[in-house]
Structure 1
């Protein structure tokens, strides 16, 4: 591989403050062992089924072959979606990259020579497809090379580049092989030549954000300040006036006013990011942007940028987030509309958006140490994210409704298959979300059976965890270390939990917590046993009165898990089912149902038409008492097709 090309006019860093706090970084995947009755089967299916299935799809659709330019590849017909021209193959490179990233995470925890050979082949194809100047995009190189860098608003060059960067970072960390890393280093050098504030450069940025957070990952393994500078440029330039997307449209002969999605809010480019107060536009783009902003704020000690992230977080979680951790109610823009607009039967709640929310939440948690970010990370993981894939790992949801008449089902693949490889990479890297650490602290963010290994106080420390979470709130943690040592253990008390109890070697410990974490500072010995009890009663949840779609309705939650009704259990039309406020809801575990779940049962009411009842009547309908069974939302649509509802009528 040749030496990276020089980078003239590299954007200079605008900030140079100290990091915001001691970074709480995830543990390396190889140092986290998951032996959990809930997560292990899902991770195993993802690894043993999902990786091969998705590789087969990439072969079948021609994504891998598109990297071979030995034969002409004529421009494809451009399909129209929502009056916007979209060419699926424009983001094939991102699908390949996410697959490589996921496979690399898998190799880090489960070495597999066969899989490594497949990854090596995909990397070799990408390296061969790279152009002499460093450019790497199979669509534009193979089909429309004259349109490079002409439409960042609608097309996906920088988005695909970002995923290639993330894949390269994961690949070198898992295997030590630098081939893909060297490829993306050359590509990033070219991008830094094209975009920036210098003479002859484009004052542009991506329409679909992603490269910002990817560049931060690249910077952290390379320590190359040019990568940090480019990430900062993309974040700071976004939304500056005159609007780059409008100038770009005029330059290619388009009318900016004819943009199918109305305004630059769609891509969060309507104003500079530090001035943004509301979460707007395309949901996935927004979450990726905010994750990149959080990374940059942490690295540069940029309190203004962090403040923008916190304002946007508050806007999302107080006005625009589904109970399942889904976000973005509208199919029209795959994103946000207005405050408290959270329809259930038309919810979009794209799987990718919930995954990207997990990324953002993890970063905000690392910066602030505030458990509210872990709460939302957990909410999305156990609900919207897991609902995106079937229990057998073969079918996927793109959008995640909270109410269905029975016509919503997962699919094998999709014209825009961004969600399956996104799920694949999140689940193969799941261990990175369970624990985090600083120089002297180990944080337990999620309660998952298994163990963590970490260097603290100059020696190896193992923390073993036993639990049946999320079905049971009893958690036992045991320390193993060669010599007694003093360090800090931080245990999360979830926001949904009330009445938590904690003991260390049988002695009660106050669960008074700081921002959702109990801090245990002591000299630890091998065999010290910590018992944390998180009561898990069934909770009725009511929406804010401004949420029209949920007026007069109630949802059920137990621990982090949100529940729903399915027609196959209730055998009735679900909109006619009423859950009285006075009905006791009980929980019990069903080991043979949906691979083992805790179900909720209650006595409900079923509204029936009275005899000869007209379409409209001055007398109320009749009713009968029925048994109501609720199952976890993530597991719906894995049995007989039928209706589904999260929000239930109440009396």
Structure 2
């Protein structure tokens, strides 16, 4: 394996109070909890059967396949999350557990390298006959990502070698050669997984196979039609028929011609992530321009304030039209926001723009971690911006927006996906390119980055996001000239920057959202960033009709929500005057300690019991409280909303 490529990312040990707590929850609660789920040992929870499927595929147990066609991916993502935990801190017991299940995975692999328990157990002989719906390459991709992460964390290559054999087999099946299939998967994932594999192997075959899958998508004659005819299928599945046909899988056009995000949101952002990487690795300007155009479309017209994406339930898909972002009927799957983080990170590799980091940060502090409770044992698949429990329980069009997190899901893609993201959060903190070190995220951590063949230790200390002071000690092995590029968030008006207590003029060194500190660095140099964390009002674009006349609150990267637990029932009766000033205070006794906002508001009180009245309801003054959106639904269940009416 190419060890130089394998060490491409900085080594970061997170000590941050905010993220350390979540990493520890993943290690001590989420990973063991999900292991129990994978082994069907959770009472009153949907069975997974993932381990059982592997044992049956390996010939070590008799029985029938159970679960979705992509059931294997729950285990693959568990292995990946374990890898990041082990990279953070050694744990012999956990590593032995992972080694044991990896050995089982390898025993379930076919002699030709193929691995997929659904087709091994349930439909042998039907490999690659329905790429549109059956997730074969998607499943392969998650095992590849797990293999790369485990190799990077432990140096063990058992799973990595198995996946290289699998990729050799896939490469023998797909391609433009006459004897190969011209297809690609309905659910993108293999594309970005192959690029991660390329990072550790340096094998051009892995890079080029990813490039093939991206380039082939949407070409004519359409492969999904070809395989449909081979199956002698008269009609597609319900999703295929009803959700934009080819657009459901972003296969409606060749990727370079796509300028609007359509279809299944998770599939889309996984594909866009691979496109961004390939644009850089292949110096492909067409791919670069397409990804930039799609980014603008998503973030300017189809993204919620919480960085949730995918506004319609049917097809878990993007908006029907621009600015169609309902707060209560949205889908905003946890996996979609996670995919947005992946995409943002890769866009920053492609093009150094701080705005990408702003979106990544918004997703990390809001639309992703809202998918898990503070204990790591209950999960949201859907992350709405308004919830009315009684309606969720009675109205079919809102039944997807659960008023409480669930113990597990039969389609459990989100919990393990979130676990692997949180466990790997340190990997998103720094980016090194030539003699530039980009500080993308702010958290207490010790990192080792390599600049000009020299190790540089960066010790960052902060109580972010609750406080805006971020201090970074710089410890190079020797005096060294390089540029420390510190992201200045777009919301941070009035930010201050210091080096060794000397204030810098940010405006004079600000470039594309980064303050570029170019100097000879010496051991013990200190960079201090002071970000103003004043609560800010946020207003939606006038075309976003659901939020007309409403206001939301944000403090730093954190979006706030109003809960029934703090403000009583009937939250739509609340309003806030334009002149009301929100006050922030740390409250250690609620939600594991958060900064909450209080603001003076009004509550409408009906004059009588009539459904319609001739006079406007009277209003009383009330003190309203908002808590971070990610932490809602960690107390007694109740109503929640992000956007509140603003009085005229």
Q: TM-score, normalised by structure 2?
A: 0.93
Matching of residues 415-434 of structure 1 within 5 Å: 415-434=410-429
Task: Show the counterpart of 1:340.
Answer: 323
Shift of 1:394: 0.8
Distance 1:120 1:477 in 2: 37
1:64 aligns with 2:51: yes
CA 36–276 in structure 1, closer or farther in 2 if over 3 Å, else same: same
| Cα contact 1:504–1:528 (8 A) shared by 2 | yes
1:207 aligns with 2:186: yes
* Equivalent position to 1:261, from 228, 238, 242: 242
Q: Which string of whole-angstrom CA distances, capped at 9 and with x for unpartnered residues, describes residues 144-164 of structure 1?
A: 112211111111111000001
* Aligned-residue offset at 1:455: 2.8
Tell me which of 605, 615, 628 is aligned to 1:632. Answer: 628
Q: Does structure 1 residue 379 correspond to structure 2 residue 376?
A: no
Shift of residue 560, structure 1, vs aligned partner: 0.3
Alignment check: 8 A CA contact 1:464 1:478 kept: yes
Quick check: 1:58–1:64 contact (8 Å CA) kept in 2?
Answer: yes
For residue 153 of structure 1, give the secondary structure of its aligned residue in structure 2: helix
Q: Give the number of aligned pairs.
A: 614
1:404 corresponds in structure 2 to: 387
- Matched residues in 1 for 2:566 and 2:125: separation? 57
Determine the C-alpha separation between the residues in 1 that align with 2:331 and 2:54: 32
Match of 2:614 in 1: 618
| Distance in 1 between residues matched to 2:145 and 2:504, nearest whole Å | 42
1:282 equivalent in alignment to 2:264: yes
**Quick check: 559-568 or 182-191, which moved more?**
182-191
Aligned CA RMSD, in angstroms, stands at 1.5
Q: Contact between 2:596 and 2:627, CA under 8 Å: does it hold in 1?
A: yes
* Aligned match of 2:595: 598
Residue 177 of structure 2 aligns to a residue whose secondary structure is coil
Structure 1 residue 644 corresponds to structure 2 residue 629: no
SS of 1:623's partner is: strand
Q: Displacement of 1:261 after TM fit? A: 3.2
Give the secondary-structure state (helix, strand or coil) at the position aligned to 1:32.
strand
**Aligned residue among 268, 285, 289 for 1:303:** 285
- Whole-angstrom distance in 1 between the partners of 2:236 and 2:569: 49
CA distance in 1 between counterparts of 2:486 and 2:330 reads: 34
Q: Is the 8 A contact 1:539 1:557 kept in 2?
A: yes
How far apart in 2 are the matches of 1:352 and 1:392?
Answer: 19
* Separation (CA, whole Å) in 1 of partners of 2:9 and 2:196: 15
Could you say which residue in structure 2 is the equivalent of 1:294? 276
Instruction: Judge conservation of contact 2:113–2:169 (CA < 8 Å) in 1.
Output: yes
Structure 2 counterpart of 1:447, from 407, 417, 442:
442
DSSP 3-state at the match of 2:450:
strand
CA displacement at 1:255 relative to structure 2: 2.7
SS of residue matched to 1:442: strand
In structure 2, distance between residues paired with 1:402 and 1:482: 48
Residue 205 of structure 2 corresponds to: 226
Q: Which residue is equivalent to 2:346?
A: 363
Conserved 8 A contact 2:307-2:366: yes
Map 1:507-546 onto structure 2 (within 5 A). 507-512=502-507, 513-546=510-543
Shift of 1:485: 2.1
| Structure 1 counterpart SS, 2:199 | helix
Cα distance change of structure 1 residues 159 and 597 upon mapping to structure 2, 3 Å threshold:
same
Shift of 1:257: 6.1
Shift of 1:256: 4.8
The 3-state SS of whatever aligns with 2:97 is helix
Contact 2:432/2:451 (8 A) holds in 1: no
Match of 1:35 in 2: 15
Mapped pair 1:330 → 2:309:
no
Which of the residues 422, 430, 434 maps onto 1:435? 430
Q: Structure 1, residues 611-641: CA drift from partner, whole Å, max 9, x if none?
A: x352112211111111100000000000011
- Secondary structure, in 3 states, of the residue corresponding to 2:315? coil
Runs of 5+ consecutive residues of structure 1 not aligned to the other structure:
1-22, 77-87
How far apart, CA to CA, are the structure 1 residues paired with 2:551 and 2:165?
Answer: 54
From 131, 134, 140, the counterpart of 2:110: 131
Residues 192 and 455 (structure 1 numbering): CA distance in 2 closer, same or farther, change over 3 Å? closer
For residues 283 and 105 of structure 2, the distance between their equivalents in structure 1, rounded to whole angstroms, comes to 36
2 CA distance for matches of 1:190 and 1:482?
A: 45
Q: Which runs of 5+ in 2 are unaligned?
A: 41-47, 393-402
Q: Which residue of 2 aligns with 1:45?
A: 25
Report the Cα offset of residue 458 of structure 1: 4.7
Deviation at 1:420, TM superposition (A): 0.6
In structure 2, C-alpha distance between the alignment counterparts of 1:219 and 1:387, rounded to whole Å:
32
Which of 153, 165, 168 is the matching residue for 2:147? Answer: 168
TM-score, normalisation: structure 1 = 0.92
Give the Cα separation in 2 of the matches to 1:118 and 1:261.
43
Using the alignment, how far apart are the partners of 2:350 and 2:235 within structure 1? Answer: 38
SS of the equivalent of 2:447 reads strand
Q: Does 1:151 align with 2:127?
A: no
Distance apart, 1:486 and its partner CA: 1.5
Pairing partner for 1:456 from 451, 454, 459: 451
Which range is displaced more, 279-288 or 186-195?
186-195
For residues 581 and 241 of structure 2, the distance between their equivalents in structure 1, rounded to whole angstroms, comes to 50
Distance in 2 (alpha carbons) for counterparts of 1:575 and 1:645: 8
Find the aligned partners of 1:306 and 1:590 in 2 and give their Cα distance. 45
**Alpha-carbon spacing, 1:572–1:124, altered in 2? closer, same or farther (3 Å):** same
Deviations 1:448-506 (A, max 9, x none): 01222223355432222121111111111222235322211111100111011112122
Q: Does the 8 Å contact 1:26/1:432 carry over to 2?
A: no
> Alpha-carbon deviation of 1:27?
3.3
Distance 2:445 2:132 in 1: 45
| Paired residue secondary structure (1:89) | coil
User: Equivalences for 1:545-556 in 2 at 5 Å?
Assistant: 545-556=542-553
Per the alignment, residue 35 of structure 2 pairs with: 55
| Alpha-carbon spacing, 1:151–1:537, altered in 2? closer, same or farther (3 Å) | same
CA contact (8 A) 1:192 1:230 kept: yes
**1:178 to 2:191 alignment:** no
Candidates 371, 378, 396, aligned match of 1:395: 378
Looking at structure 2, the residues matched to 123 and 58 of structure 1 have their Cα atoms a distance apart, in angstroms, of 14
Tell me if the contact between 1:208 and 1:285 (Cα under 8 Å) persists in the aligned partners: yes
Residue 106 of structure 1 is matched in structure 2 by 85
SS of the residue corresponding to residue 355 of structure 1 reads: helix
Contact 2:138 2:185 in 1 (8 A): yes
Aligned partners of 1:63 and 1:89 also within 8 Å: no
CA apart distance, 1:276 = 0.2
